[in-house]
Structure 1
């Protein structure tokens, strides 16, 4: 199923390159936006929060980032009315395989999957 807009949030350029390349090859997104910090991503989402056509349907989110981590981002994201209306889903994409991180991620109903980096095409098959 193709998504109109996918947002990648990760502070690592190499991970962003791999994830972007994998999503492009799998052709699951018409548009991919990359933000290097959770703060930058929230600022961006704030500018499009009323636009269902532009707001991402899918967000790939890292956990460990400077200034604001992935969980703090989720705490803010779930306040967006468009997210409350279930227009957007989050896939955690992290280098962490810590069970505490996995359990914590699934405390958010918006989180649909937890994956360990790097993203591979097979990981996208059941989206």
Structure 2
């Protein structure tokens, strides 16, 4: 599998380092973009040419805007840019309300508890992209 780009959105630098390492080790993409804030990520997407990345890992609890705030604004982007874009919530939250809210969002394809590892990433590829 070769995704053109994977976007990581998390305010925690250590999590970003781990996630970038795991995604890089999997060789599913040659371009891994890290955004440390959902506001920066939305700006990045706003100025992006063409379609959005097929895979976005999104944290929930971040200081200036949470992951659900990101999803509300993401919803307003043109449909053709969001086509084939899959969001995976990657969070430390075990809160049932967060889980249900994420699972009820049409853009969220999977909810994962940190940390990301190769097994979880393989599950994402299998469940979201039907890649074995």
TM-score by length of 1: 0.92
Q: Report the Cα distance in structure 1 between the residues aligned to 2:75 and 2:98, rounded to whole angstroms.
A: 18
Does residue 91 of structure 2 align to residue 94 of structure 1? yes
Q: Which residue of 2 aligns with 1:67?
A: 64
Q: Report the Cα distance in structure 1 between the residues aligned to 2:121 and 2:104, rounded to whole angstroms.
A: 22
RMSD (CA atoms): 1.0
Q: How many residues align?
A: 122
Q: Which residue of 2 aligns with 1:39?
A: 39
- Describe the superposition over 1:24-71 as per-residue Cα deviations: whole angstroms up to 9, x where unpaired: 0111122110000000000111101x412xx31110000000111000
Q: Which residue of 1 aligns with 2:130?
A: none
Higher strand share: 1
**Where does structure 1 lack aligned partners over 5 or more consecutive residues?**
none
Say which SS state the counterpart of residue 30 (structure 2) adopts: strand
Q: Which residue of 2 aligns with 1:11?
A: 11
Q: Which residue of 2 aligns with 1:122?
A: 119
**Where does structure 2 lack aligned partners over 5 or more consecutive residues?**
126-132
Q: Report the Cα distance in structure 1 between the residues aligned to 2:72 and 2:119, rounded to whole angstroms.
A: 29
Say which SS state the counterpart of residue 76 (structure 1) adopts: helix
